[in-house]
Structure 1
Amino acid sequence: MPLIKIILDTNSYLRLAKSLHPLLNRTFGKSNYCLFIIKDFQKEFNKKPILKSKFYWVNTPEFIENRKKPIKLSPAEQKQFDLAFEIVLDTAKDENLLDKLSLIDIKFITYSHILKSPLVTDDTDMMKLAKEFEIEIFNTLQLLKLMLDNNHITMEKIREIIQYLNYEDDLPKSKKELKKEYKTLFNEDLNVVFK
């Protein structure tokens, strides 16, 4: 059965990689889901001193090793990518999103569009642009739910991740929004996690 490749944006990777190491290039579930990042991740990360300081572990050998196989494009897909990138970029301009999105955000969306791969992001502007191209979107909690439903992680691990993100002050949305979605997805009150 072919892989269902799911692309993680930078923030989603940073939120999950430490707690779910090794996060990438591991299949899970009967549908053969597999998580990937794009090759431009490292360039973006290295350009941002704040990220390098807060997420110092990203450049440790074990995490570098796990990122050695980013999602790849065939030569034909690369040609499609080059054309589609300009279209996605123009659409971002038309939607007044260019000042809110980086070029790497545009690349994440273009990869997902070309490969017909779901994209994991918590960025509402990326979600808005991705919808213009009918890209399937997961946010962090929805990805965790997918992993839970496919016996890749446990509910205890999900609670641990949410506690860690809260401690790091890096929740993917406001606590009010998070509590509502958490209850809907996991049928559990988030107060169980925030003791």
Structure 2
Amino acid sequence: MSAATVVLWRHGRTPFNAENRFQGQLDVPLDEVGRAQVAASAAHLAGLAPSALVASDLTRAADTAGALEALTGLRPQLDPALREVHAGAWQGLLHSEITASWPEEYAAWRHGGDVRAGGGERRSEMAVRTADAVERHAAGVADGGTLVVASHGAALKGALLHLLGLDLGAWTAFAGFRNAHWAVLARGRHGWVLGEYNAGPPGAGEGVEG
């Protein structure tokens, strides 16, 4: 058993996204715009006839998955391994505040460096954690099925690179996941193949990673 297709879906906008704050693993809900974004995304993803649905257990991701559950009846399995990067002291701060207090560390993070975000988690640790979770859930889907994973911007990009066998040095070659947008991976002969990246409904803002 194994999914043939995996959809990596970022949550909709939150108040912290709108304010340009680093969320990390703080449990911030969707705002009104975010709820509209995920409703539009869910209408499209429902057309893919997904077989299984999993999500980070943080509210913004769980509620994003809930929009697809409402259309498909698939109950999302919540998994804390799919949470965003733990960003330590940076969590809840404006990006300008992080830049002022940790200029070198934050510049390294923004340029794809494998630093401990705010003294918390390394990007490499996050990538392994989230990619392993995606593979574990994909292994439980019937052959030929589609797994939808609702998670977070940096977490999804890390998982994507790891699943594609790319070094984290490729981080800046990929734009950040926009709110309520997704990537599609298909299982090829020699591993996962990227089919779509940053696909999504019109009107969703780019948002910021974290």
TM-score (norm. length: structure 2): 0.28
Greater percentage in helix: 1
TM-score (norm. length: structure 1): 0.29
